[in-house]
Amino acid sequence: MSTTLVYALALAFCRTILNIFFREIRSRGAYNIPRTGPVIFAAAPHHNQFLDVLLASQVWNESHRHVGFIVAASSMRERFIGTLGRLLGAIAVERAQDVAKAGKGFVYLDNDDPTLLHGINTSFTAQLGPKNQILLPKAASSAIAQVAEVLSDTEARLKGPFSVGDGAIGTKKVRDQCIKLRKDGKAGLDYKVLPHIDHHEMYEHVYDRLKSGGAIGIFPEGGSHDRTDLLPFKAGIAIMALGAMASDPNLKVQIVPCGLSYFHAHKFRSRVVIEFGQPFEVPQELVEQFKAGGEGKRLASARLLEIIYDALKTVTVRAPDYDTLQLIQASRRLYNTPGQHLTLSQVVQLNRRFIEGYLHFQDEPRIQALKQRVIAYNEQLHALGLRDHQVEGATRAAWKSFTLLVYRTGLVLTWTIFALPGVILNGPIFIVAAYMSEKKAKEALAKSVVKVAARDVMATWKVLVFLALTPILYTIYAIIGTYIAYYVGAETYWVIATPFITYTVVPVIGYCALKFGEAGMDVYKSLPPLVLAVLPGQHKRLEKLKQTRADISNEISSVIDEFGPKLYGNHFNQRRIVHPAAGPPPGQPPALGRRRSNTSGVDAQGNLLIHPMTWLDERVFGWTHSNKSSASTSRETSRTASPVPSDDEDDEKSNALVERGDWDDVIGMLNAHEKRRASRSYASR
């Protein structure tokens, strides 16, 4: 494991990059992280190839524990990633697909025996061996099978039928593809040979780390993806936990489920929530079963994978497809009444509960009718070019809308002027990053059968391009600046100082452009409803849309009241209360000394750049009082979410309205508790 200082410095570097790429990083349930003892952090979903290292930085920030991640050896062979991985104490694991070799000739399945593989112009005796695997092309659903015996250069016996990634039998798909190829005049299927890899050394490293009381992190899905649900888990995490405890009877390994919820994972300045679930010890009975070997070992590993999967379901947002996910997010927004500004952590939790309820009752007629109303409402929003959160403010008085439109247009122009120098200077980086990320996404998509659009690799390549090009570009600027200083006959000390000035000033200009541009985009996104509000004949349309929104919102609340108790039983009313998202649940003492995540007058990141818009909108135009009143009223009269879940739109919302941080309520509770205790102490005297 890296020394504490080196580890902290490496994470500080990572944290700097992450804070540039992400607009907001929040953690939830950090009190669940065990401070001592062997721990395995099981993280999912793996939506952001290498940027998921932010999990390690959050663990370090919360508990000062080193986490060594299991990283693909192919990635560790990359110069930058490998160096950073070694500094962070990563453990390399060789994956068969990374060292696969193209097979000679073509293959096809026997018509009667699904485990008999025939070859055409193949050299099975030279290329194949027991425990090797045959991987078919994407046209055959990337089906895979293990070799049991090589019969000849053109025949091999498989251990079982071909299967696809989700475990379904792929024999029919393979045969159908072979038939299609023959009709097209082709002999058979291309294939790759995946060698059998001995992971004994890697497991020994893991066991040593756990036996010394250390912590490792692993993504049980085995690879990154951009699907809305989890991929089937690999057995590695179960073997690590059970194997370590089997080798040392005194070892007690705890597993902590970690959920990563990204809001536009591939986009620059997006948001992410990291949730740590309750840790659990590996059951001793599974360890004993694992020790028996054979079928018992396989069953014990499978059972532990089920337990880990169930634990990760409590900290992840999963949906069967993107349409369902978008429907749930839209419904959640409609349920979130004005004045209830949920934190990102609460939004994730609310989305999870909405999905749970929808999947359970989706066939109910009332749910289906509500679904169609939500879809129709979203279509109206799209036609008008509005976001859901803009509907409420789009129906204010025309003169107010016009005044605000003029002011915000001027503000956008101001922020644009301030941001323009940095945008121009860093433009080459943005252009190359966008090009490379799109190119690498297409390449990854062509190689994978689990990716939808390969967005999981886009953020990584944007960051890698940034890290590679930034020093090169700034050096070019330094050379140009030095040449200009020399050419115009500047004093020698100015010529010498020019490179140092460039390396100082250009990054500052870039950072200012980032903040000014971000503030400008927030204001720009608030303009469409103002434009609609001042157009003749649009006010009635907006009022009707606002009423539609209110009706659907009331219907969602009513549906929750009806179906919530059916899903959660008698505990529904207690579980529906939204507790402070980052604080411990009732009955557990909150941690002290935590910095408040927000303060009045600034956004969630402590930035003041958007504050002028908030000040003028809310103070000069006099809406602060009305907003506070409506917020207070809505908190008293509206029904809080189902056992508790923002989403895509929350990532794009203007930050003009200040949200209270996760821990503000906790601090308030502590202060109130101290006052009550002081009051009782005074009375006792």
Distance (Å, rounded) from C-alpha 409 to C-alpha 415?
A: 10
Tokens 């096809």 identify what position?
108
Question: What is each CA distance from 205 to 88, 201, 234, 248, 391, in whole angstroms?
Answer: 15, 6, 18, 14, 56
214 pLDDT tier (thresholds 50, 70, 90): very high
Question: What is each CA distance from 88 to 15, 33, 49, 68, 91, in whole angstroms?
Answer: 13, 19, 16, 6, 9
Distance (Å, rounded) from C-alpha 597 to C-alpha 318?
A: 27
Q: What is the pLDDT of residue 665?
A: 36
In a domain, 438, yes or no: yes
Q: Which residues contact 81 (CB under 8 A, 6 or more apart)?
A: 50, 71, 75
Same domain, 58 and 206: yes
In a domain, 441, yes or no: yes
* pLDDT beyond 70 at 461: yes
- Name the least confident of 504-518, 537-551, 611-625, 656-670: 656-670
Same domain, 121 and 223: no
Provide φ and ψ at 679, rounded to 5°. -65, -45
Q: What is the pLDDT of residue 141?
A: 72
The count of C-alpha atoms lying within 13 angstroms of the C-alpha of 210, restricted to the half-sphere facing its C-beta, is 30
In a domain, 446, yes or no: yes
Provide φ and ψ at 312, rounded to 5°. -70, -25
Q: What is the pLDDT of residue 60?
A: 85
Residue 360 or 631, more confident: 360
In a domain, 346, yes or no: no
DSSP assignments along 273-286, one per residue? EEEE---EEPPHHH
Range from 213-217, 224-228, 518-522, 671-675 that averages highest in pLDDT:
213-217
Q: What is the pLDDT of residue 573?
A: 67
Distance (Å, rounded) from C-alpha 341 to C-alpha 15?
A: 27
Rg of the chain over CA atoms, in angstroms?
29
Are 518 and 418 in contact, with CB atoms under 8 Å apart? no
The mean pLDDT of the chain is: 78
Same domain, 87 and 214: yes
- Name the least confident of 277-291, 354-368, 442-456: 442-456
370 pLDDT tier (thresholds 50, 70, 90): very high
How would you classify the pairing of strands 270-276 and 22-28?
A: parallel
Q: What is the pLDDT of residue 598?
A: 37
- Dihedral angle computed from the Cα positions of residues 566, 571, 573 and 574, in that order, rounded to the nearest 10 degrees: -150
Which of residues 507, 524, 541 is at a domain's end? 524
Nearest to 314 by CA among 661, 585, 650: 585
Nearest to 88 by CA among 29, 196, 12, 32: 12
Region 469-488 average pLDDT:
93
Residue 7 or 254, more confident: 254
Nearest to 271 by CA among 494, 588, 48, 585: 48
The one-character DSSP state at 485 is: H
Q: What is the pLDDT of residue 477?
A: 94
In a domain, 676, yes or no: no
159: left (phi over 0), alpha (psi -120 to 50) or beta: alpha
Q: What is the pLDDT of residue 171?
A: 62
Tokens of residue 37, six digits: 């003892």
Peptide bond into 45 cis (omega under 30): yes
Region 49-64 average pLDDT:
82
Which of residues 179, 194, 209 is at a domain's end? 194
Same domain, 143 and 176: yes
Are 168 and 108 in contact, with CB atoms under 8 Å apart? no
In a domain, 611, yes or no: no
Percent of the chain at pLDDT above 90? 23
Tokens 């060789």 identify what position?
94
Region 460-464 average pLDDT:
87
- Name the least confident of 158-162, 418-422, 500-504, 583-587: 583-587
Same domain, 411 and 440: yes
Same domain, 87 and 158: no
Distance (Å, rounded) from C-alpha 595 to C-alpha 592?
A: 9
- Residue 40 sits in a domain whose CATH number is 3.40.1130.10
Region 178-195 average pLDDT:
75
* pLDDT beyond 90 at 426: yes
Region 184-212 average pLDDT:
86
Q: What is the pLDDT of residue 533?
A: 81
| 535-560 CB burial, b ≥16 within 10 A, e <16 | eeebbeebeebeeebeebbebbbebb
Distance (Å, rounded) from C-alpha 115 to C-alpha 158?
A: 5
- Name the least confident of 163-167, 186-190, 238-242, 281-285: 163-167
* pLDDT beyond 70 at 229: yes
Q: Which residues contact 444 (CB under 8 A, 6 or more apart)?
A: 451, 454, 456, 457
Same domain, 25 and 149: no
Residue 120's H or E segment, with its range, is: strand 116-120
Range from 343-352, 404-413, 606-615 that averages highest in pLDDT:
404-413
Region 350-356 average pLDDT:
86
Domain coverage including residue 210:
4-94+200-313
27-48 residue pLDDT tens: 888 889 999 999 999 998 888 8
Which of residues 141, 161, 194 is at a domain's end? 194
Q: What is the pLDDT of residue 257?
A: 93
Are 556 and 639 in contact, with CB atoms under 8 Å apart? no
The count of C-alpha atoms lying within 13 angstroms of the C-alpha of 649, restricted to the half-sphere facing its C-beta, is 22
pTM of the model: 0.75
How would you classify the pairing of strands 39-44 and 22-28?
A: unpaired
Same domain, 204 and 254: yes
Range from 200-204, 321-325, 518-522 that averages highest in pLDDT:
200-204
CA 546 to chain centre: 32
- Name the least confident of 447-451, 513-517, 671-675: 671-675
* pLDDT beyond 70 at 583: no
325 pLDDT tier (thresholds 50, 70, 90): confident
Region 522-544 average pLDDT:
84
Distance (Å, rounded) from C-alpha 663 to C-alpha 399?
A: 39
Q: What is the pLDDT of residue 97?
A: 80
- Name the least confident of 126-140, 241-255, 268-282: 126-140
Distance (Å, rounded) from C-alpha 503 to C-alpha 509?
A: 11
- 3-class SS shares of the chain: helix, strand, coil, % to 5: 60, 10, 30
In a domain, 342, yes or no: no
Distance (Å, rounded) from C-alpha 411 to C-alpha 418?
A: 11
Burial of 97 (0-12, 13-18, 19+ CB in 10 A): middle
Same domain, 158 and 254: no
Same domain, 38 and 115: no
Tokens of residue 677, six digits: 């205790």
How would you classify the pairing of strands 39-44 and 215-218?
A: parallel
| 290-322 CB burial, b ≥16 within 10 A, e <16 | bbeeeeebeebbebbbebbbebbbebbbbbeee
Q: What is the pLDDT of residue 181?
A: 64
In a domain, 603, yes or no: no
DSSP assignments along 22-63, one per residue? EEEEEEE-GGGS-SSS-EEEEEE---STTGGGHHHHHHHHHH
Region 407-428 average pLDDT:
91
Same domain, 221 and 249: yes
Q: Which stretches within 188-274 are classed as H helix?
A: 200-211, 236-247
Number of domains in the chain: 3
Same domain, 419 and 404: yes
Distance (Å, rounded) from C-alpha 647 to C-alpha 652?
A: 9
Are 167 and 182 in contact, with CB atoms under 8 Å apart? no
- Indicate the SS3 state at residue 93: strand
- Name the least confident of 100-104, 422-426, 529-533: 529-533
Question: What is each CA distance from 662 to 39, 214, 261, 343, 594, in whole angstroms?
Answer: 26, 30, 16, 7, 11
